[in-house]
Amino acid sequence: MKRSLNDYRKIVGDEVIGEIYRRARKLYGKTAVHVNSTYYGGGVAEILSGIVPLMNDIGIAAGWRMLRGTPDFFNITKKFHNALQGNSINLTEIKKKLYLQANAAFSTYSHITHDCVIIHDPQPLPLIQHYPRKQPWVWRVHIDLSNPNKDLWEFLKSYVLKYDVIIISSEDYRLRDTPVEQRIIQPAIDPLSPKNMKISEKDIAKYLKKFNIPTDKPIITQISRFDRFKDQEGLIDIFRIVKEEVDCRLVLCGSMALDDPESQQYYERTRRKANNHIKNRDVILITSENNILVNALQRVSNVIVQKSLREGFGLTVTEALLKKKPVVASNVGGIKMQISDGETGFLVEPDDRKAFAQRVIELLKNPSMAKTLGENAHEVVKKNFLITRLLRDYLDLLQDLIG
Ligand code: UDP
**CB neighbour class for 2 (10 Å; exposed up to 12, middle 13-18, buried from 19):** exposed
Model pLDDT, residue 42: 85
For residue 286, give the ligand 1 atom closest to its CA. Answer: 8
Residues 340 and 392 in one domain: no
Model pLDDT, residue 39: 84
For residue 253, give the ligand 1 atom closest to its CA. Answer: 8
User: pTM for the whole thing?
Assistant: 0.94
Q: How far is the CA of 316 from the centre of ligand 1 (A)?
A: 6
Q: How far is the CA of 165 from the centre of ligand 1 (A)?
A: 26
Residues 34 and 97 in one domain: yes
Give 192's contacts (C-beta < 8 A, 6+ positions apart): 3, 7, 8, 11
| Span 230-243, pLDDT tens digits | 999 999 999 999 99
Tell me the pLDDT band of 147, cut-offs 50, 70 and 90. very high
Residues 158 and 256 in one domain: no
Residue 262 maps to a domain: yes
Query: Is residue 224 within 6 Å of ligand 1 at its C-beta?
Result: yes
For residue 230, give the ligand 1 atom closest to its CA. Answer: 25
For helices 93-109 and 71-84, the axis angle rounded to 10 degrees is 120
Total domains present in the chain? 2
Instruction: Write the DSSP string, 242-268.
Output: HHHHS--EEEEE----TT-TTHHHHHH
Tell me the pLDDT band of 345, cut-offs 50, 70 and 90. very high
Rounded to an integer, the average pLDDT of 326-334 is 97
Query: Is pLDDT above 90 for 2?
Result: no
For residue 318, give the ligand 1 atom closest to its CA. Answer: 20
**More confident: 135 or 3:** 135
| Span 260-302, pLDDT tens digits | 888 999 999 999 999 999 999 999 999 998 999 999 999 999 9
Residues 28 and 175 in one domain: yes
Rounded to whole angstroms, how far apart are CA atoms 191 and 86? Answer: 33
Query: Is pLDDT above 80 for 1?
Result: no
Query: Is residue 333 within 6 Å of ligand 1 at its C-beta?
Result: no
Query: Is residue 188 within 6 Å of ligand 1 at its C-beta?
Result: no
What letter does residue 193 receive in the DSSP assignment?
S
Q: How far is the CA of 41 from the centre of ligand 1 (A)?
A: 6
Model pLDDT, residue 194: 95
CB-based contact 168:149 (threshold 8 Å):
no
Tell me the pLDDT band of 259, cut-offs 50, 70 and 90. confident
Query: Is pLDDT above 90 for 247?
Result: yes
Query: Is pLDDT above 80 for 45?
Result: yes
- Please report, for the domain that includes residue 181, its CATH number: 3.40.50.2000
Residue 136 maps to a domain: yes
Q: Whose CA is nearest to atom 11 of ligand 1?
A: 316
Q: How far is the CA of 94 from the centre of ligand 1 (A)?
A: 31
Residue 193 maps to a domain: no
| Span 181-212, pLDDT tens digits | 999 999 999 999 999 999 999 999 999 999 99
Residues 335 and 391 in one domain: no
Residue 30 maps to a domain: yes
Percent of all residues in the chain with a pLDDT value above 90, rounded to a whole number: 95
Q: Where are the beta strands (DSSP E) in 53-195?
A: 61-66, 116-120, 137-140, 165-168, 181-184
Residue 195 maps to a domain: no
Residue 194 maps to a domain: no
Query: Is residue 254 within 6 Å of ligand 1 at its C-beta?
Result: yes
Query: Is residue 189 within 6 Å of ligand 1 at its C-beta?
Result: no
Return mean pLDDT, the chain: 96
Residue 118 pairs in a beta bridge with: 34, 138
Tell me the pLDDT band of 167, cut-offs 50, 70 and 90. very high
Tell me the pLDDT band of 49, cut-offs 50, 70 and 90. very high
Residues 269 and 376 in one domain: yes
Residues 144 and 226 in one domain: no
How many CB atoms within 10 Å of residue 322?
22
For residue 224, give the ligand 1 atom closest to its CA. Answer: 5
Residues 160 and 225 in one domain: no
Model pLDDT, residue 41: 74
For residue 189, give the ligand 1 atom closest to its CA. Answer: 15
Query: Is residue 334 within 6 Å of ligand 1 at its C-beta?
Result: no
Rounded to whole angstroms, how far apart are CA atoms 343 and 361? Answer: 17
Rounded to an integer, the average pLDDT of 146-156 is 96
Residues 304 and 360 in one domain: yes
Query: Is pLDDT above 80 for 217?
Result: yes
For residue 255, give the ligand 1 atom closest to its CA. Answer: 8
Domain extent at residue 315: 201-384
Model pLDDT, residue 164: 98
Residue 181 maps to a domain: yes
Query: Is pLDDT above 80 for 124?
Result: yes
Rounded to whole angstroms, how far apart are CA atoms 389 and 187? Answer: 9
Q: Whose CA is nearest to atom 4 of ligand 1?
A: 254
For residue 254, give the ligand 1 atom closest to its CA. Answer: 8
Query: Is pLDDT above 90 for 256?
Result: no
Residues 153 and 254 in one domain: no
Q: How far is the CA of 56 from the centre of ligand 1 (A)?
A: 24
Residues 264 and 351 in one domain: yes
What is the best residue among 253, 301, 316 to mutate for testing ligand 1's pocket, by most ligand atoms within 8 Å of CB? 316
Residues 397 and 355 in one domain: no
Query: Is pLDDT above 80 for 143?
Result: yes
Query: Is pLDDT above 80 for 381?
Result: yes
Query: Is residue 218 within 6 Å of ligand 1 at its C-beta?
Result: no
